[in-house]
Each structure stands twice: as structure tokens, then as C-alpha cells.
Structure 1
Amino acid sequence: MRTTRTAAAALLAAAALTVTAAGCSGSGGKDAENEPSSASGGGRPAATERMTVAMVTHSGEGDTFWDIVQSGAKAAAAKDNAEFLYAAHKEGKEQAQLIDSYVDKKVDGLIVTLAKPEAVKASVARAVAAGIPVVTINSGGRYSEAYGAIGHIGQDETVAGEAVGEELTARGRKKALCVIHEQGNVSLEERCAGVRKTFRGTVENLNVEGTNMPAATSSIEAKLQSRKDIDAVVTLGAPFAAASVKARGSAGSAAEIDTFDLNAAVVGQLKAGHIGFAVDQQPYLQGYLAVDAIWLHRENLNVIGGGKPVLTGPALVTEKDVPVLEELTARGTR
């Protein structure tokens, strides 16, 4: 399933909703317990019993992608009369401990990422055994059903990578550098593997220290200096697109920079022509649908997607999509 630019435009238009996110976010493994407020437009929360939904992700500090996921989750929580709790840690062991803490709190629903599935497997199983419905989002979708989750919401990372490989081929690229900013993250590895599968040129992976942006920039710069035949750099997270643009300039390279994921900075870089294209997986939708999935299961035993993953991407966006994207990023929903 490959999303064309026409479909991407439709996705962007469909997502043009004015929603006010409730509360404030937390990161770095600390709980952020936020009382939701109603979405804009004067609506009232659902007249259902109050519930508590917790989300645990593999986000590192300062990753704006997860701010957008939380915005969607908080908007849905406000609508569904739910208290939304959030915690994150980039290391799998600590993420598992956070999941355990929410199981101990007996939350009504749990949303987790499976970037490092083996590290959190036992903790997810403990939640399922306790009767807590689990929805996985964003990463590790192929493990979701086996781990007992009621559903997975996100993009198929292999399909997304394949779409990037095809686009690089269409743009006439011959040698791509795929920058992995978190070793051991199965979703990032799947993205690069997908690029390699469909790209008619060659792909080289480069592991960088994602929590140290200056070091990551230096690693990309060194590679571009030593390999002048690299004509495309694919980053797997929005913050690393800017780092690659900087590295390209310092290395005197002419490589095109393309990236997975969006934020306001990436939209600005698309507009300025510093980036060729970006892959949008709709993080706002991932958070929103995950909370809704738990609410629907609690109230009516619904399972969205018929037990299959609910795909929120990929959609390739370019400078042509900037006018719509600028409006959405200003709202905090892209």
C-alpha cells in the first residue's frame, strides 16, 4: 500500500481540525498527569464513567514528534471524559518499569510503543494479564497482536521505507545514506530496510548518537566529506533533518536531504528548498485514535481495524504541500 501525493493531500485536508490540546506534557521518564479540558467549539466530555488512560513511549528528551502525539491523545481524552497520563524513556528497561508503574496504578487503558519489543514484552504481558486493554502505537506493529494488544495504530515502517526508496529512484538518486539515530529501535531498522528494498541505487546505514545532536551532525558531516558520491541523505526523525542540512553545508556536499516525520522546522526547510520531501505518519492521529480505541473497547468492546493495524501513513509531502502544512503545524497537530 503506497500513498501517492494525491492521497497525501487528501490526508492533510482531512486532518484540518481545530482541536485544543489539554494539559501539558512530560518527558524523560517522569509522569505527566494532566486534567483534560474540552476540545474547542464548546463541546462537553462524553457522559460516560471517568477513566484513566496512560501512555508510555520511547521518546528521548526534546523530541517534538511526541508532543504532537500527546496533543492528539489529550484532545481525545477531553472528549472521552478521560484523565491522560504520560511518561517516556528512550531505554527499553526504563520504559518497562514505567509500564509496570501504571499497571500498579490500575489504569483503565494503556498505550505503549514497541520500539524495543523484547525489553517491554513482560511488562505488556503483565498489563494484559491484569485485564488492562493495551493499544500499541507508532513502532513494533508486527509484535502487537502476539503481545496481546487489542490493536496497533501507526504506519507500516517497511511500506514507508519502500515509498522513500521509490521516490529516491524517481528523483534519479544513486547513493543514499540512511541515518539511524537510535540503535536497537526495530522501526528505524525497518525503515532503512524498506528503502534498500525498492531503491535502485545503493543504501548505506549510518548509526549516530541521537541524544547528542552535535555529535550526530559531526558524524553525518564526516561521512559526506569522505563519500562524495552520496547524493541523498535520509534521516529517520525530523530533528535530524536540520542536522543533516548543516552537515551538508559544512562538508561541501550536494546531497539531497529527505526525512521521515514532520515538525514546524521541517516545513520551513521544505519551503526554503533545503529538504526534498518528508514522510508524514500523522502522529496527532496516532495519539487521538489510541485513546478513542481504549474508550470504545471499554464502553462497547469495539476493536477498530478488525484486529489488524490501523495505518496512519505514509504520505510523502513536498514544498507543494507547505501552505496546508504551515497552518497545521501552527496548530500543533502536525
Structure 2
Amino acid sequence: RAGIPVVSMNSGSDVAESLGVLVHVGQTEYEAGLGAGQRMKAAGVKNAVCVNHEVGNVALDLRCKGFFDGLGIKPNVIPVKIGDPTAIRNAVLAALQRDPSIDGVLTLGPTTAEPVLQALEGKKVTFGTFDLSPAVLTALSQKKMAFAIDQQQWLQGYLPIILLNNYVRYGLLPANKVIMTGPGFVTPENAAQVIDLSKKGIR
């Protein structure tokens, strides 16, 4: 209302335009989950679970929905709660015991990924997660995980400044209302580069 140009980032792509935001910079959750499912399908995964640490959170539910749509299978969500890594690990172990055909697991953040890594130790299960942490990057470099989805948050901080500068100086804006920074996939092949960049504060 004050005429101040606004670019939003990270969260809120679904409401940005209705709030008068010029451009939103970030990752749309369904599409990120879809990419994870397609990647697992290409790896030969037939029966996967999605470990959701906050069922009812729209963004996280969309990640799981996209994942199963990408795989082309019926949803199978394991609900867990953050703060109890032992319970998270045991929930995944119990699911694997009930259904030994499970050959893929997706977690929605590092807080669930780390205990799930323990649950999957020594098992032939394709494992991926959303977001990065030192433990996730180490697991990737050791080939204990297939991928981690990177929103590329450095870009989420960088691009709005560039967009606003060009808008204020020249009245220029991209045609797209949402600039996608993710999903970017960190894999065992590029994990070393990401680890190096993260030490420099770029990832």
C-alpha cells in the first residue's frame, strides 16, 4: 500500500501474487516431491515410503503427494514427530519389518533424515531427503544416500536483490511470477563440491 516494491522468497509461492508481491523466489513443494519420485523411479524403486514429521503441514503434505505421483504408486506415509530420533528410527525399522519389499525412503528434512540413516544402515534401500545438513552431505559423499533436494537458499537470498535493483533502476521484471531455485539435487557425484561451497557460505 505504501508503494514499496516487494519480492518474497522461500515460502509463500501460492499466495505471493494475491499479496501484491512482484516476484516470488523459491521452490514449489509439489514439484520438488515430484522430482524426487521421478528420480527414484528412474533408479528402479517400486515400493517407497515418505516419512512426514508434521502431517497436516500443507508444504510437507505436498512434498509427499508429489513424491508418490512421481513414482506412480499409492501413498504410504510414515508419520513421525521431530524431537525423538529414536522413535523416528524405530518407526522406519518397523515399516521395513512389516513390508520387506520397501525399497525407497524419502524424508522431508535433515531432522528425520539423520535417524533414518541409522535405520537403513546395511540395507539395500534407495534413500533421499529434502534439505541439507553436514550429516546429510557426509552420507552423500559416502554413497549412503541417493540424493538430497537443495532449495538453493543462497540463490533465494541473492536473486531478490538483483530483481529489486533492476526493477527500481529500469522497471524490469521477469515474466514469471515464481522464479524456481529448486529442486536442485545433491548426489554422491557433486556432494564434494557442495561441501566445499558450504564452508564458504555459498550453499
Q: Distance in 2 between matches of 1:302 and 1:181?
A: 42
How far 1:175 sits from its partner (Å)?
1.0
* Match for residue 184 of structure 2 among 306, 315, 328: 315
Q: Is the 8 A contact 1:154 1:313 kept in 2?
A: yes
Q: Tell me how far 1:140 sits from its aligned partner.
A: 3.3
Deviation per CA, 1:161-209: give whole Å up to 9, x if none: 2211111111111111111222333222221111121213444112221
Q: For this pair of structures, how many residues does the alignment match?
A: 203
Instruction: Please name the residue that 1:256 is paired with.
Output: 126
Give 1:173-212 correspondences, 5 Å limit.
173-212=45-84
Alignment map for 1:61-140 (pairs within 5 Å):
129=1, 131=3, 133-140=5-12
Matched, 1:245 2:117: yes
Report the 3-state secondary structure (helix = DSSP H, G, I; strand = E; otherwise coil) of the residue aligned with 2:24.
strand
2:150 to 280, 283, 286: 280
TM-score scaled by length of structure 1: 0.54
Q: Which runs of 5+ in 2 are unaligned?
A: none
2:195 is the counterpart of 1:326: yes
Distance, in Å, in 2 between the alignment partners of 1:217 and 1:137 is 33
Write out per-residue CA displacement over residues 142-176 of structure 1, whole angstroms, 9 at most, x where no aligned residue. 22111222221112222222211111111111111
Can you give the 5+ residue segments of structure 1 that lack an aligned partner in the other structure? 1-128
CA root-mean-square deviation: 2.5
Q: CA deviation at 1:326?
A: 2.2
**1:233, 1:188 → 2: CA distance?**
15
**CA offsets per residue over residues 233-273 of structure 1, 9 Å max, x none?**
10111332222111224xx7532211122233222101111
Q: Deviations over 1:46-75 (max 9, x none)?
A: xxxxxxxxxxxxxxxxxxxxxxxxxxxxxx
Q: Partner residue of 1:86?
A: none
Is the CA contact (8 Å cut-off) linking 2:147 and 2:188 kept in structure 1? yes
Q: CA deviation at 1:216?
A: 2.8
Contact 1:224 1:253 in 2 (8 A): no
Higher RCO (CA 8 Å, separation ≥ 6 residues): 2
1:88-126 residue CA offsets vs partner (Å, 9 max, x unmatched) = xxxxxxxxxxxxxxxxxxxxxxxxxxxxxxxxxxxxxxx
Q: Give the secondary-structure state (helix, strand or coil) at the position aligned to 1:319.
A: coil
Contact 2:89 / 2:118 at 8 angstroms: preserved in 1? yes
Length-normalised TM-score, structure 2: 0.85
Which amino acid is 1:315 matched to? G
What letter corresponds to residue 199 of structure 2 in structure 1? A
Q: Distance in 2 between matches of 1:319 and 1:206?
A: 26
Larger radius of gyration: 1
The whole-number CA distance in structure 1 between the counterparts of 2:4 and 2:83 is 32
